[in-house]
Amino acid sequence: MNAAARTRLLHAIHRRMGVCSALFVILLAVTGALLQHSSTLGVDNDFVSPGFAKVWYGIVAPEAGPNYAINGNLITSIGDALYCNGERLPGRFTEPRGGVAFAHGLAIATASTILLLTPEGEIIETLTVASGLPENIERIGTTPDGSIYLQASNAIVEVDLDAASFVTAEQPEAPISWSSASPIDGVLESIIKEDYAGTLISWERLILDIHTGRLLGTFGVVLVDLMAALFLLLALTGVWSWSRRRGR
């Protein structure tokens, strides 16, 4: 094959590679732009349907629980979320250790926080280790006079929520009624699971997985790698073709 024929063949291959990669370039450009402006567009806080998350990612909502009945309110844990009477509380939480009623609402204990809620389930304040709260909270309870106690790392801690005070104490004379989990109503559990399943995969995550090819698993990753190699060949053959023209 003479030089002219090789050049024509290279040009033909270059054109075909360009056509094959055009749609992929458009896909990368569009998804890249969406990711660049995800916060503005709100795709980081919007979520795909539970059915799509299950089909494409194999993700389903975990079982709900534990569930605590506190002064007529139901606090339910599922995954990294807490629900109060079926309404999700903003934020991410570890599994609750129990809850009690106090003068201004509800106090929900996790391993390292106490979440204070109004009687309507709105967050008032979150107490953490930075507030003096002990670590490794195991349970929370009250005495008949309304005093609140924690058991943390084998120590009994008396809690003053108004002063945000946590003092190691002896076992009080009055018995402590420790908060314990209760069964969850099946209808409420279904509502909570459906709501939580709708927050597992954000549109931002989906767009990122399309952009990187991970939506199609290993095949998608390999495809993106092959397209990257194709782009490299396009650049090399384009430069070679341009240099040949310049040399004439």
Give me the pLDDT at residue 150, please: 93
Per-residue pLDDT band at 4 (split at 50, 70, 90): low
Each residue of 61-91: pLDDT tens digit? 888 888 999 988 999 999 889 999 989 998 8
Ranking 28-32, 62-66, 180-184, 233-237 by mean pLDDT, the lowest is: 233-237
Give me the pLDDT at residue 247, please: 53
Q: Which amino acid does the sequence have at 210?
A: I
The helix/strand/coil state of 99 is strand
CA 26 to the chain's CA centroid: 29
Numbers of helices and strands, H then E, in the chain? 6, 13
Per-residue pLDDT band at 96 (split at 50, 70, 90): very high
Residue 240 has pLDDT above 90, yes or no: no
CB 59 within 8 A of CB 52: no
Residue 248 has pLDDT above 60, yes or no: no
Tell me the backbone φ, ψ of residue 133, rounded to 5 degrees.
Answer: -65, 135
pTM of the predicted structure, to 2 decimals: 0.69
Residue 243 has pLDDT above 70, yes or no: no
Residue 185 has pLDDT above 80, yes or no: yes
